[in-house]
Amino acid sequence: MYQEAYYPTHLHTYSFLITGGAGFIGANLVAYLLKHNAKKVRVLDNLATGFKHNIAEFESHPNFEFMQGDIRDLGTCKNAVAGMDFVLHQAALGSVPRSFNDPIATNEVNISGFLNMLLASRDAGVQRMVYAASSSTYGDSKALPKQEEIIGKPLSPYAITKYVNELYADNFSTHFDFHTVGLRYFNVFGPKQNVKGAYAAVIPLFFNAGIHNTNVTINGDGNQTRDFTFVENVVQANMKALFAEITQHEVINVAVGDRISVNDLWKNIKSITKSTVEAQHGESRIGDVRDSLADISKAKKILGYHPKYSVRDGLAITYDFFKQQAATNDK
């Protein structure tokens, strides 16, 4: 992974802060930046949903720095952005179910924490902040494919928080000339994604079940569709967004522009892992959208983004990761 350079210039003169850098997407951004000779890569993470093992391989790298801290503290955010040229803001409490179970914490991290990072980055003179937005912002809009300008009513506290991020970012662009880019991720998957815990995503859960030939439960009838997006596509979009020529706040879909049902996803993973398990079906999850498919024409036009990996390509790489992880854990 990460053989291709996705930026228009060399990175050896630039320093980057990645909030949530011990998480799944954040750790992949760290891997890319260090592979491509970034001057400095600083991670800020409170390890609530991130893990030290995701960044353990980088700890001996001379250009890497880890700061344990919480974005809910403005002073911590200001310390973290000091000396940084760019900010990749990935820190958040994800998961729709978690946001129903604990809306207060979701709001504090995703809104107050985001505002702290926006303020700290603006005041520090950061060149560009790119942040993780979410396809959940489309809410109950049934229009397909999803276009950035057309959203519906949010279906969860999580979706509300991610929409508020966009409103704050747009306001800062209008009134302070601090122009950020929000990348609306669509169901990202890949190496370093967490397979454990109550809020684990579907693909690592499916791979874990397939590799160990254990039971699988699909929420609802399984005919719901998603635009699953391999993590290197997301890294590409982040890098291109950092250096894109923009003069206002932009919100941009990051996906493949194709969709697959959850039932077919399991069939693919079942085939890859040679599992013999037949999936069971449970209750639908509250707050879940039925269908999701991105229009990625804006990403192509503004960022020059072109997804390198299809779902099948990404699943093959992800399988290798989880297979190796399972072999290590089972020893």
Alpha-carbon gap, residue 141 to 176, rounded angstroms: 31
* Cα–Cα distance for residue pair 64/56, rounded to 1 Å: 11
Burial class (CB in 10 A: 0-12, 13-18, 19+), 63: middle
- Which residues are registered as beta bridge partners of 17? 42, 87
Query: Which residues are CB-contacts of 322 (< 8 A; sequence separation ≥ 6)?
Result: 195, 204, 207, 208, 211
CB-CB contact of 238 with 88 (8 Å):
yes
> Would you state the structure tokens that stand for residue 212, as one six-digit string?
């160990």
d(CA 269, CA 207): 6
Reduced DSSP (H G I as helix, E B as strand, rest coil) percent helix, strand, coil of the chain, to 5: 40, 15, 40
Which entry of 14, 158, 185, 305 is annotated as an active-site residue?
158
Whether 158 sits among the annotated catalytic residues: the reply is yes
3-class secondary-structure state, position 20: coil
Q: CA angle 303-308-311, nearest 5°? A: 120
Q: How far apart are CA 30 and CA 2, in angstroms?
A: 11
Active site residues: 158
